[in-house]
């Protein structure tokens, strides 16, 4: 690690501002539905508590569009954290101003307080210097433990470190170490699996992985665009028609440079996403008129699984189909099982992919679950992450 971490600083009695990623889903009763991201921050929070720091936690939640919205309040998150820690956790009604200042002023060594949603202020996402300075004034030290937002130059990720000493938390350190291996020296054979709906936001990482991986597997909705670029009629399947030229260019590069690229060889199609009971397994050039491809088929699962099981390094970002709907989840389940059965290093990136591996009950059988989808892709692509670059170097 080139950047300083919590182990490099003394936090006893200090006010420590920790940027966490508590952007968690809620159920209909307004309670936290999945606390995975909260639990991921516990090692850093526990370390600070044990050393007598005054722990100030800050996060965004949802998209409140720069103004207070009770639907996106972090108060329920503070309640769940309190239960997980087995101790009282304070809550400040704002992340700057008197409410935040009074809450921090009332803290004692070892106390924990959660600030209200950062994105209740439009200044957060534009990295306003005054807003960053106001947050920095609450603390003596800054810790970034939110890898999921490290690729964004926001006030809470890139702005605060300009004012006070800034280091990486344990979760961020783990992410950088695990994903850094993919960028530097992945053990061969390195198999990369990229799925999800669209190629438009993954062009850079696809190009990088084509050059880096021993085998690149493409599934999910984005595979439809590649199949259409090969001239196949995808009927009503999701196809990015404005990216067909990009897909053709990538396919030509694969052919020219003799890269190992695998696309689905069969698909699960249905008249609509709501008609799983009518689904059929079809060849990639035989999607019925008016139907859509919503998953990869069993032959594709077998083809992909064989390469995954043989790999020494696996990186997977993006599901193979509409995995959240029963009947269109077999492809993603199959890839999850193959990944779990690999003897190599297995790294899962992206919220949907993490949910899929959890849904399959196989999360404990992979090496690393990345908490950041966009951030993990940017890092694998070789891009600098503003939230990491802003931290103090060793």
Q: Please report, for the domain that includes residue 326, its CATH number.
A: 3.40.50.1260
Is 370 within a domain?
yes
**Cis before 189 (ω within 30):** yes
In terms of residue numbers, what domain contains 65?
Answer: 6-172
Look at residues 199, 389, 338, 266 and name the one whose alpha carbon lies nearest to residue 348: 338
CA atoms of 125 and 387, how far apart (whole Å): 13
Compute CA 325 distance to the chain's CA centroid, rounded to the nearest angstrom.
21
- Band (371; pLDDT cuts 50, 70, 90): confident
- Average pLDDT of span 206-230: 94
Confidence grade of residue 116 (pLDDT, cut at 50, 70, 90): very high
Does residue 89 lie within any of the structural domains?
yes
247 in the same domain as 144: no
Long-range contact list for 206-214, CB < 8 A, 24+ apart? Answer: 206/250, 207/250, 208/380, 208/381, 208/382, 209/315, 209/380, 210/250, 210/253, 210/254, 210/259, 210/261, 211/259, 212/186, 213/186, 213/260, 213/315, 214/188, 214/189, 214/190, 214/260, 214/311
- Quote the pLDDT of residue 98: 98
Report if residue 393 sits inside a domain.
no
Residue 34 forms part of a structural domain: yes
Q: Verify that 165 and 197 share a domain, yes or no.
A: no
* Same domain (yes/no): 211, 317: yes
Q: In this structure, are 102 and 24 located in the same domain?
A: yes
37, 202, 208, 232: the active-site residue: 37
One domain, residues 162 and 306: no
CA distances from 249 to 73, 195, 226, 284, 375 (A): 45, 19, 10, 20, 25
- Whether 13 is a known active-site residue: answer no
Domain count, the chain: 2
Q: Which of 51, 75, 80, 198 is catalytic?
A: 198
Residue 354 scores a pLDDT above 90: no
pLDDT at 62 over 90: yes
What local confidence, expressed as pLDDT, does residue 281 receive?
A: 98
Query: How many residues in the chain?
Result: 394
Domain assignment present for 139: yes
- The burial of 373, by beta-carbon neighbours within 10 Å (0-12 exposed, 13-18 middle, 19 or more buried), is given as buried
- What pTM was computed for the model? 0.86
Residue from 159, 318, 349, 374 carrying the catalytic annotation: 374
Query: ∠178-181-187 over CA atoms, to 5°?
Result: 120
Is residue 373 part of the annotated active site? The answer reads no
Does residue 388 lie within any of the structural domains?
Answer: no
Q: What is the mean pLDDT of residues 176-194?
A: 90
- Is the residue at 299 inside a domain? yes
Are both 223 and 79 inside the same structural domain?
A: no
- Exactly one of 51, 351, 365, 383 is catalytic; name it: 351
pLDDT for the residue 2: 87
**Residue 76 sits in the same domain as residue 152:** yes
Active site residue 374: yes
Most trustworthy range by pLDDT among 122-131, 185-194, 248-257: 122-131
Residues 327 and 353 in one domain: yes
135-149, 183-197, 292-306, 325-339: least confident range? 183-197
Residue 86 contacts by C-beta under 8 Å, 6 or more apart in sequence?
A: none
In this structure, are 296 and 148 located in the same domain? Answer: no
Please provide the average confidence, as pLDDT, over all residues in the chain.
Answer: 94
Residue 351 annotated in active site: yes
196 with 164, same domain: the answer is no
């Amino acid at each position: 690690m080139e950047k300083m971490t919590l182990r490099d600083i003394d936090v006893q009695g200090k006010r420590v501002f920790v940027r966490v990623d508590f952007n968690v889903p809620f159920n209909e009763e307004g309670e936290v539905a999945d606390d995975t991201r909260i639990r991921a921050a516990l090692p850093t929070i526990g370390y600070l508590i044990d050393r007598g720091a005054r722990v100030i936690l800050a996060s965004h939640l949802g998209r409140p569009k720069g103004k207070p919205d009770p639907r996106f309040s972090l108060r329920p998150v503070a309640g769940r954290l309190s239960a997980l820690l087995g101790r009282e956790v304070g809550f400040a009604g704002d992340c700057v101003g008197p409410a935040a200042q009074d809450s921090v002023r009332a803290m004692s060594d070892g106390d924990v307080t959660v600030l209200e949603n950062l994105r209740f202020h439009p200044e957060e996402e534009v990295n306003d210097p005054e807003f960053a300075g106001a947050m920095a004034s609450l603390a003596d030290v800054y810790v970034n433990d939110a890898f999921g937002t490290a690729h964004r130059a926001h006030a809470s990720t890139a702005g605060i470190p300009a004012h006070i000493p800034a280091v990486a938390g344990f979760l961020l350190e783990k992410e950088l170490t695990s994903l850094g291996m993919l960028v530097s020296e992945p053990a061969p054979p390195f198999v990369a699996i990229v799925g999800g709906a669209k190629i438009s936001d993954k062009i850079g990482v696809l190009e990088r992985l084509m050059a880096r991986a021993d085998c690149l597997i493409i599934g999910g909705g984005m595979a439809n665009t590649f199949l259409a670029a090969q001239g196949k009629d995808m009927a009503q399947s999701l196809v990015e028609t404005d990216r067909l030229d990009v897909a053709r260019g990538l396919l030509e590069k694969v052919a020219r440079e003799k890269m190992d690229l695998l696309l689905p060889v069969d698909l699960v199609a249905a008249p609509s996403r709501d008609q799983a009971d009518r689904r059929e397994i079809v060849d990639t050039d035989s999607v019925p008129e008016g139907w859509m491809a919503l998953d990869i088929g069993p032959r594709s699962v077998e083809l992909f699984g064989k390469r995954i099981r043989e790999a020494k390094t696996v990186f997977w970002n993006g599901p193979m189909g509409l995995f959240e709907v029963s009947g269109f989840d077999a492809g993603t389940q199959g890839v999850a099982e193959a990944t779990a059965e690999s003897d190599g290093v297995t790294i899962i990136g992206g919220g949907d992919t993490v949910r899929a591996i959890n849904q399959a009950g196989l999360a404990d059988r992979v090496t690393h679950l990345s908490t950041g989808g966009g951030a993990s892709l940017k890092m694998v692509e070789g891009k600098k992450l503003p939230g990491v670059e802003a931290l103090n170097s060793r």
